[in-house]
Amino acid sequence: MAVFASSTLFLLLLLVCSVGTAVGGVHFSTLARTLNVTASPKQGQVLMAGVDKIRVFWGLNQTVKAGTDDAYKKVKVKLCFAPVSQENRGWRKTEDDLKKDKTCQFSLTTQPYTKNPNPSSFEYTLERELPTATYFVRVFVLDGSDTEVAYGQNTDAQKTTNLIQVIGITGRHASLDIAAACFSAFSVVSLIFFFVKEKRKGSKN
């Protein structure tokens, strides 16, 4: 009886586990790179989170077969960590399974896909929460069931060209805090100075 129960349990576990893996997401390596994507920052330009803007352009690569985008319904524009900012950071790790992938953590916009000879574009103010890092832009194409079917990115396959440098707010706060600390130390000193001066004046009278 116990043997029967445990083998049933084992089979059940096996079933649950295999369903679990089957439920995984779309794999990035299966997506076709059909979009031409560019972003406004110039190579080497350093941007400030919470301040600077970027403009992202996308359109069907004119070299792909006409009608390739018949099933394209939406685009999802994302900001992604470049390899240099992923090193030793498991929480930004690239996984082929898009449900597990941590490369593209920042959504800029999701919009209907427009079949248009001219590229579409979107202007985005770098959000204040962005950490200091090197990024690239990836645009995912979704079909009618919100499933990723294609993509484009503003960098090469190795993610080494046209990368975007962003300085986060926290890095800048540190220097602001130092400035504030110096300023208040200075005011305490000058307060003591005037206090002593006034006292001397008072004792002379």
Where does this chain bind ligand NAG (CB under 6 A)? 33, 36, 38, 57, 61-63, 119, 152
- Residue placing its CB nearer to ligand NAG in the complex, 55 or 99: 55
Q: How far apart are CA 32 and CA 51, in angstroms?
A: 34
Q: CB of 86: closest distance to ligand NAG in angstroms?
A: 22
- Residue placing its CB nearer to ligand NAG in the complex, 21 or 63: 63
- Residue placing its CB nearer to ligand NAG in the complex, 79 or 139: 139
Which residue type occupies 161? T
Q: How far apart are CA 143 and CA 201, in angstroms?
A: 82
- Residue placing its CB nearer to ligand NAG in the complex, 111 or 120: 120
DSSP 97-123: BTTT--S--EEEEEEE----SSPEEEE
Q: CB of 60: closest distance to ligand NAG in angstroms?
A: 7
- Please answer whether residues 77 and 107 qualify as being in contact, where contact means their C-beta atoms are separated by less than 8 angstroms: yes
Q: CB of 40: closest distance to ligand NAG in angstroms?
A: 11
Beta-bridge mates of residue 53: 125
Q: CB of 163: closest distance to ligand NAG in angstroms?
A: 16
Q: CB of 127: closest distance to ligand NAG in angstroms?
A: 25
Q: Which residues contact 105 (CB under 8 A, 6 or more apart)?
A: 78, 79, 80, 81, 92
* Strand, helix or coil for residue 66: coil
- Residue placing its CB nearer to ligand NAG in the complex, 33 or 197: 33
Residue with tokens 């959000």: 127
